[in-house]
């Protein structure tokens, strides 16, 4: 996302401490200067030439300036930005406003307000100056309703205001206020995986385990043993065999899902919620949907970035973890690095051997394929989710660009084929049910005996 230059009408907000900057002061305008100049010139000519008419002609200008300045403002206006802090999703409504307060006893004749906003916030009146009038000891607000077009931390502001008072004879230097952040969460695509987890490792949960224990899934009937509960006795089999038998069940356990986000690069142009999706758009929205699904089922979800920073969110469950996941996803940015990140990422952060690792990657960087192969060889359950947009292609620079793009896609298909040969399931993200088939295959592989 390109950085938008600040409009000339809105001076940059100072980063220095507040003590180093003096409060805005009131200065004379050109109208006051012209009035004083014209009055003085007419008085000098009237006295020098002995003409009373010139003195009388200067009297209205002098009286008007004196009347306008009889009560001068002593304090600067106060400018604040207000914006929604509620749960805003892509495509949702945003309510923002810029408020100008007048703490003085002098009314503001004219207030010109202009704001700078994020390009992903489509707000009314944000692309042009807005003029208002503020009475003494009161305030006025400029409403900025609009729509959020893309996920992320978007800014409303900074905003600047120019104020004229005393009939336009005095003006306040530009008052600038800092930007107000708006959190726009990614829209959750419908995702519903019905297949069992490959390895349920927690104590309690909704997934059927392969271990015997207290649960609702019948595993079989076996002879009674010391320690078995009486309510587990199967009386039909016991009466038929003349020996006590109990029904054994499989324990219900939760699972840990690790969402590994490949942020080595960005491919494609983002068009917002209603436009085209880039790699990061697909990655963030898919991660939010998968996390919501498994957290609602009581599983533990953690997140990890495959990039230079290697940010990680610890595994947890519940509604609070879902909100934390959404906050964590707002800070996802392209984070390229020159060297291999496998040891830096997985050396410092331990990944459980029973966790289901969902790698959301466009498979553009060769290091991503190597990382998937190493994860699979380490014995973990890995699913690669392809986040590359269908029509992603570099910008045509010359006549060889289409041919180079075609060769690159052929090479990428070869990489996908080699990953599948190494036992790495690769599936393109397509919303609801797109991972059911792959999760079923992973569950089957997990149930098979492992060689030593």
**Does 196 reside within a domain?**
no
pTM, two decimals, is: 0.73
User: What does the block give as tokens for 254?
Assistant: 């939760």
Looking at the structure, do residues 147 and 291 belong to the same domain, yes or no?
no
Last residue of a domain, one of 40, 68, 96: 68
**Does 148 reside within a domain?**
yes
SS3 category, 91: coil
Looking at the structure, do residues 293 and 219 belong to the same domain, yes or no?
no
Residue 81 Cα distances to 23, 117, 141, 146, 445, angstroms:
19, 11, 9, 15, 56
Helix (H) or strand (E) holding 371: helix 366-377
**Does 152 reside within a domain?**
yes
Last residue of a domain, one of 36, 68, 100: 68
For residues 332 and 303, the answer to whether their CB atoms sit within 8 Å is: no
Distance CA 106, CA 102 (A): 8
Looking at the structure, do residues 226 and 260 belong to the same domain, yes or no?
no
The pLDDT score that the predictor gives to residue 442 is 66
The pLDDT score that the predictor gives to residue 328 is 94
The pLDDT score that the predictor gives to residue 159 is 92
Looking at the structure, do residues 266 and 415 belong to the same domain, yes or no?
yes
**Does 307 reside within a domain?**
yes
For residues 154 and 83, the answer to whether their CB atoms sit within 8 Å is: no
The pLDDT score that the predictor gives to residue 25 is 79
Looking at the structure, do residues 400 and 319 belong to the same domain, yes or no?
yes
Looking at the structure, do residues 418 and 303 belong to the same domain, yes or no?
yes
- CATH code assigned at 359: 3.40.50.410
The pLDDT score that the predictor gives to residue 5 is 38
**Does 9 reside within a domain?**
no
Looking at the structure, do residues 277 and 136 belong to the same domain, yes or no?
no
**Does 18 reside within a domain?**
no
Burial 31-50 (b: 16+ CB within 10 A, else e): bbeebeeebeebbeebeeee
Looking at the structure, do residues 260 and 293 belong to the same domain, yes or no?
yes
Q: How many domains in the chain?
A: 4
The pLDDT score that the predictor gives to residue 345 is 64
**Residue for token pair 């199967």:** 234
The pLDDT score that the predictor gives to residue 355 is 80
Name the nearest CA neighbour of 305 among 353, 269, 341, 256.
341
Distance CA 282, CA 64 (A): 65
Looking at the structure, do residues 282 and 425 belong to the same domain, yes or no?
yes
Q: Spell out the alpha helix ranges (H) of 213-341.
A: 235-241, 279-296, 318-329
Q: Spell out the alpha helix ranges (H) of 50-91.
A: 52-68
Looking at the structure, do residues 310 and 397 belong to the same domain, yes or no?
yes
Which stretches of the chain drop beneath a pLDDT of 70?
1-24, 189-219, 249-254, 339-350, 392-397, 399, 432-435, 437-452
User: What does the block give as tokens for 345?
Assistant: 């990422």
**Does 79 reside within a domain?**
yes
Looking at the structure, do residues 230 and 348 belong to the same domain, yes or no?
no
Is the alpha carbon torsion for 260, 262, 263, 269 positive or negative?
negative
* Residue 54: domain span: 28-68
Question: 271-322: per-residue pLDDT in tens?
Answer: 888 888 888 998 999 899 888 888 888 888 999 998 888 888 988 888 899 9
The pLDDT score that the predictor gives to residue 452 is 43
**Does 345 reside within a domain?**
yes
Looking at the structure, do residues 282 and 420 belong to the same domain, yes or no?
yes
């Amino acid at each position: 996302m390109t950085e938008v230059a600040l409009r000339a009408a809105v001076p940059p907000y100072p980063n220095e401490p507040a003590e180093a900057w003096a409060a805005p002061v009131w200065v004379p305008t050109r109208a006051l200067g012209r009035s004083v100049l014209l009055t003085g010139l007419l008085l000098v000519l009237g006295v020098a030439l002995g003409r009373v008419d010139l003195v009388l002609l200067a009297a209205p200008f002098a009286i008007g300036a004196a009347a306008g300045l009889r009560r001068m403002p002593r304090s600067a206006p106060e400018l604040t930005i207000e914006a929604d802090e509620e749960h805003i999703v892509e495509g949702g409504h945003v309510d923002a406003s810029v408020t100008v307060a007048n703490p003085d006893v002098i009314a503001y004749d004219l207030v010109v307000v202009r704001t700078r906003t994020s390009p992903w916030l489509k707000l009314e009146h944000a692309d042009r100056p807005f003029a208002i009038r503020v009475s003494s000891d009161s305030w006025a607000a400029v409403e900025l309703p609009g729509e959020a077009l893309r996920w992320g931390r978007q800014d409303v502001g900074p905003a600047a205001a120019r104020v004229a008072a005393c009939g336009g004879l005095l003006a306040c230097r530009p008052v600038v206020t800092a930007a107000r952040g708006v959190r726009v969460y990614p829209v959750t695509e419908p995702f519903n995986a019905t297949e069992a987890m490959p390895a349920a490792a927690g104590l309690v949960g909704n997934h059927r385990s392969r271990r015997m224990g207290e649960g609702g899934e019948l595993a079989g009937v076996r002879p009674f043993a010391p320690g078995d509960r009486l309510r587990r006795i199967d009386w039909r089999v016991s009466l038929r065999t003349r020996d006590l038998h109990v029904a054994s069940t499989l324990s219900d356990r939760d699972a840990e899902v690790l969402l590994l986000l490949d942020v080595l690069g960005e491919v494609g142009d983002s068009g917002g919620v209603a436009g085209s999706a880039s790699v990061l758009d697909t990655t963030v929205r898919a991660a939010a949907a998968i996390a919501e699904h498994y957290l609602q089922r009581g599983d533990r979800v953690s997140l990890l970035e495959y990039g230079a920073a290697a940010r990680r969110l610890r595994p947890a469950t519940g509604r609070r973890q879902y909100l934390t996941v959404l906050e964590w996803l707002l800070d996802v940015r392209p984070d390229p690095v020159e060297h291999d990140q496998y040891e830096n990422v997985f050396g410092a952060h331990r990944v459980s051997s029973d966790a289901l690792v969902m790698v959301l990657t466009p498979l553009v960087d060769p290091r991503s394929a190597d990382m998937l192969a190493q994860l699979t060889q380490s014995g973990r359950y890995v699913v690669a989710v392809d986040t590359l947009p269908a029509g992603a292609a570099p910008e045509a620079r010359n006549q060889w660009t289409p041919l180079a793009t075609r060769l690159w896609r052929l090479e990428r298909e070869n990489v996908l084929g080699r990953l599948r040969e190494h036992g790495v399931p690769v599936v393109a993200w397509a919303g609801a049910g797109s991972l059911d088939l792959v999760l079923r295959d992973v569950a089957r592989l997990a149930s098979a005996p492992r060689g030593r």
